Structure 1
């Protein structure tokens, strides 16, 4: 996809990667991924942890589920959500390393900085640091 030589600027080849990053490009969805990296959780637990309404959390989980990044299992009347792809954590750890290497320059970029605080960590503490 990204590192495939010989494709030049073929937008169709890059479209899936762009869609993935758009899916992860929302601070609420990143927060949900961070929480789910800690372990499985119900919507009510995620709502409480993030201080968001249950409908907001449910809508963002639906988006992440459609992307194949999270799924759920029924538990009584509730659904318990979990991350489906361990590679997602590798991606977020690499993003943390990139942010550190650039001094969070993207947070100062006028095109992308409107909702990204400089101190925002993509990966929960203790779940892996760049270089580990």
Structure 2
């Protein structure tokens, strides 16, 4: 029943799509990969070398980013080159950096969204 209500409410649908995008971008490894791909198309071992992530980790995150349409791949001989699927994604990341320059103090103080779950005190944030 909830799905039907969402389908009838374009604002709710847009909000859910946006939330799904932000959940996909919420992982530090995926952001590191996207940051690296802002330089241009790269193969997996080049991404590994520039991010210090493991090869299996990079491959898994690339699959996720590809499935979500944020990254595309191009076969280059025996290698596969990955690239950001749209220049708008690189623009979005730049805009996020610019926004952080303005609100960084508030983001750093925010206790609701921590990268390290061990830092969350007992009983929640």
Same fold, judged at TM 0.5 (above): yes
Rg (Cα) greater in structure: 2
Report the Cα offset of residue 103 of structure 1: 3.0
Q: Give the match for residue 29 of structure 1.
A: 30
- TM-score, normalising length: structure 2: 0.78
Report the Cα offset of residue 62 of structure 1: 0.6
Q: Give the match for residue 3 of structure 2.
A: none
The unaligned stretches of length 5 or more in structure 2 are 1-8, 117-125
Moved segments of 4+, more than 2 Å: 8-13
Assess if the C-alpha contact under 8 Å between 1:107 and 1:113 holds in 2. no
Equivalence map 1:1-132=2 (5 Å):
10-115=11-116
Q: Give the match for residue 120 of structure 2.
A: none
Q: Give the match for residue 4 of structure 2.
A: none
The unaligned stretches of length 5 or more in structure 1 are 1-7, 116-132
Report the Cα offset of residue 10 of structure 1: 4.5
Distance across 2 between alignment mates of 1:32 and 1:98: 20
Q: CA RMSD in A?
A: 1.8
Greater fraction helix: 2
Assess if the C-alpha contact under 8 Å between 2:74 and 2:80 holds in 1. yes
Tell which has more relative contact order, 1 or 2 (C-alpha 8 A, sep 6+): 1
Assess if the C-alpha contact under 8 Å between 1:37 and 1:83 holds in 2. yes
Deviations 1:103-131 (A, max 9, x none): 3421321121325xxxxxxxxxxxxxxxx
Report the Cα offset of residue 9 of structure 1: 9.9
- TM-score, normalising length: structure 1: 0.75
Assess if the C-alpha contact under 8 Å between 2:44 and 2:59 holds in 1. yes
Distance across 2 between alignment mates of 1:40 and 1:104: 34
Report the Cα offset of residue 66 of structure 1: 0.9
